[in-house]
Amino acid sequence: MSARLTGQTWLTASSTHAVMDALEAEGGPGCARFVGGCVRNALIGAPVDDIDIATTLTPDRTERAVRAAGLKAVPTGIAHGTVTAVSGRRPFEITTLRRDVSTDGRNATVAYTDDWLEDAGRRDFRLNALYADRAGMIFDPTGEGVADAAAGRVVFVGDPGTRIREDYLRILRFFRFFAWYGRGAPNAAALAACRELAPGMTRLSAERVSKELIKLMSAPDPVAALVAMDEAGVLAGVLPEARLTPAFAAAVTISEDPVIRLATLLPVDAAVARQAASRLRFPNRWRDRLAAAAETAPAVRLDMSPAEARAAIYRHGRQAFEDAVRRGWSEGPGKTAQAEPLLRLAADWTPPRLPVGGREVARLGVEPGPETGRVLKAFEDAWIADDFPADGHQARLGRLISQRRG
What does the alpha-carbon distance between residue 23 and residue 57 come to, in Å, rounded to a whole number? 8
The pLDDT of residue 108 is 61
The pLDDT of residue 353 is 95
* 337 and 380 both lie in a single domain: no
Q: What is the mean pLDDT of residues 195-201?
A: 96
Q: Is the four-CA dihedral 56, 59, 62, 68 of positive or negative sign?
A: negative
* 139 and 102 both lie in a single domain: yes
* 2 and 99 both lie in a single domain: yes
- In the listed set 151, 171, 186, which residue is the last one of a domain according to the structure? 151
* 21 and 93 both lie in a single domain: yes
* 307 and 393 both lie in a single domain: no
206-249 pLDDT per residue, tens: 999 999 999 999 999 999 999 999 999 999 999 999 999 999 99
| Total domains in the fold of the chain | 3
pTM, full prediction: 0.89
- In the listed set 328, 348, 368, which residue is the last one of a domain according to the structure? 348
- In the listed set 97, 126, 151, which residue is the last one of a domain according to the structure? 151
The pLDDT of residue 2 is 64
Q: State the average pLDDT for the chain.
A: 93
Is the per-residue pLDDT at 1 higher than 80? no
The pLDDT of residue 100 is 73
* 61 and 128 both lie in a single domain: yes
Here the CATH number for the domain that contains residue 111 is 3.30.460.10
337-396 pLDDT per residue, tens: 999 999 999 999 999 999 999 999 999 988 899 999 999 999 999 999 999 999 999 999
Per-position DSSP letters for 141-201, written without gaps between them: TTS-HHHHHHHT---BSS-HHHHHHHBTHHHHHHHHHHHHH--SSPPHHHHHHHHHHGGGG
Helix (H) or strand (E) holding 55: strand 51-55
Contact, 236 vs 242, CB < 8 A?
A: yes
Note down the domain range covering 336: 293-348
Contact, 247 vs 331, CB < 8 A?
A: yes
Is the per-residue pLDDT at 105 higher than 60? no
Q: Is residue 41 in some structural domain?
A: yes
